Homo-oligomer: A and B are copies of this chain.
Amino acid sequence: MATLKDVAKLANVDVSTVSRALNNTSYVHPDTKERVYAAAKELGYRPNVMARALRQGRGHVLGVVVPRLHLTTFSEILQGIEAEAQKQGYMTMVCVTEDDPKVERDRLNRLRNGGADGIIIAATGRNGRILRDIQASGVPVVQLVRRQELELSSVVADFEASGREAVQYLYQKGCRSIGLIAGSQHLAPYRGRYEGYRKAVAELGLEEITGSSQRKVNSFGYGYESANQLLDENPALDAIIAAVDVQGLGAIRAAAERGLKIPEQIKIMSLTGHRVGRMLETTMTSMEMPAFQMGESAAKLAIEEIEADPKHKPARRHINFATMLVEREST
């Protein structure tokens, strides 16, 4: 690989001149510039990003830490992050934790040692101190979907509102016995959805009916088992709200197996649309969140903070995206 030195030799100038010419970083005589360009081209010169990164103290890398990608909104969010990163000249380093705090810690440590200029994370909630440390050391941290630490910027969807609106919508559709597949209360989004559900149900004078399962929370099995539990214990149930799409799929399956007609006998909807809802045999009503945009937004926040003048770092920001009811056949 040709280096700056090789180009300099061929163009008969100093490496510093080559650097300036190639980066347009200060005036260089047009003739010289031309010679430099020609030499660079002839040698197929490509700047070494690691050297530049070391020198500038910035590698133009965004670290992204998520629990999972497959069949998850994180895959769509990640596409949004990557798109924005591309636009701004950043690369995206991705780490999958499976929500294991130890794995998370390892990856964070690796990322902070110069691997990433900023970190976007859907955290387990067990490494809060490390995250605050990282932020304090000058590497901005943006929380994704799960807001665990108030001191760190975040991009989330309004899960509480989505829980509330779902109940109101179903009530207006005539439902009076509305079950919620609640999910893990350790994680902010599930907690938020439950809060919204709880308040709306109370306001409407309905009974609170929740179901859960021992399975992995973001799974078909979780939805399937929880729905069966809800249906077993509440013969009058006329609606099921699932926290996420794959749980909703499980609930649809459970209802279908019992011969319950959707939506006539039971209405089912999901609080987090993956865009899978519209692809089903019976398409599923859901509260869609703008996942791609949320990714872009998180990337913007991180990059803005990375590139801000160190003396005037922007304040922490919490961005809350509204979710939108998309009515389909299941309700």
Cross-interface CB contact of A93 among B54, B72, B92, B278, cutoff 8 Å: B92
Contact flag A75-B69 (CB < 8 Å), given A92-B95, A110-B49 = yes
**Is there contact, CB below 8 Å, between B103 and A95?**
no
- For the complex, would chain A's binding face be called helix, strand, loop or mixed by DSSP majority? helix
Chain B residues lying within 8 Å of A115, measured Cβ to Cβ, are 49-50, 91
Contact flag A279-B70 (CB < 8 Å), given A78-B94, A79-B96, A95-B91 = no
Cross-interface CB contact of A110 among B75, B91, B109, B111, cutoff 8 Å: B91
Contact flag A51-B114 (CB < 8 Å), given A93-B91, A94-B82 = yes
**Is there contact, CB below 8 Å, between B75 and A70?**
yes
Closest Cβ–Cβ distance, residue A103 to chain B (whole Å): 7
- Is A59 in the interface zone, CB < 8 Å from B? yes
**Is there contact, CB below 8 Å, between A54 and B50?**
yes
Chain B residues lying within 8 Å of A246, measured Cβ to Cβ, are 279
Chain B residues lying within 8 Å of A69, measured Cβ to Cβ, are 69, 75-76, 78-79
Chain B residues lying within 8 Å of A193, measured Cβ to Cβ, are none
**Is there contact, CB below 8 Å, between B70 and A112?**
no
**Is there contact, CB below 8 Å, between B103 and A86?**
yes
Complex CA–CA separation, A78 to B96 (angstroms):
9
Chain B residues lying within 8 Å of A111, measured Cβ to Cβ, are 91
- Is A298 in the interface zone, CB < 8 Å from B? no
- Is A267 in the interface zone, CB < 8 Å from B? no
Residues of A in contact, count (CB < 8 Å): 55
Contact flag A137-B1 (CB < 8 Å), given A50-B114, A71-B75, A113-B49 = yes
**Is there contact, CB below 8 Å, between B86 and A249?**
no
- Is A118 in the interface zone, CB < 8 Å from B? no
- Is A16 in the interface zone, CB < 8 Å from B? no
Stretch among A198-206, A250-258, A305-313, A315-323 lining the B interface = A250-258
Complex CA–CA separation, A137 to B48 (angstroms):
14
Contact flag A280-B103 (CB < 8 Å), given A59-B50, A82-B95, A96-B79 = no
Interface residue ranges of A36-70 to B (CB < 8 Å):
46-51, 53-54, 59, 61, 68-70
Question: 26 A-B pairs, CB-CB below 8 angstroms?
Answer: A48-B54, A48-B113, A48-B114, A50-B50, A50-B54, A50-B114, A51-B54, A51-B114, A69-B75, A69-B76, A70-B75, A71-B274, A78-B96, A82-B95, A83-B96, A86-B95, A86-B103, A86-B107, A91-B115, A93-B93, A94-B94, A220-B278, A253-B281, A256-B281, A276-B276, A281-B281
8 closest A-B pairs (Cβ-Cβ)?
Answer: A70-B76, A69-B75, A75-B75, A249-B279, A50-B114, A49-B114, A70-B75, A48-B114
Given contacts A82-B96, A249-B280, list 18 more A-B pairs with CB under 8 A. Answer: A49-B113, A49-B114, A50-B54, A69-B69, A69-B76, A72-B75, A82-B95, A86-B103, A86-B107, A91-B111, A91-B115, A92-B93, A93-B94, A220-B278, A249-B279, A250-B279, A253-B279, A253-B280
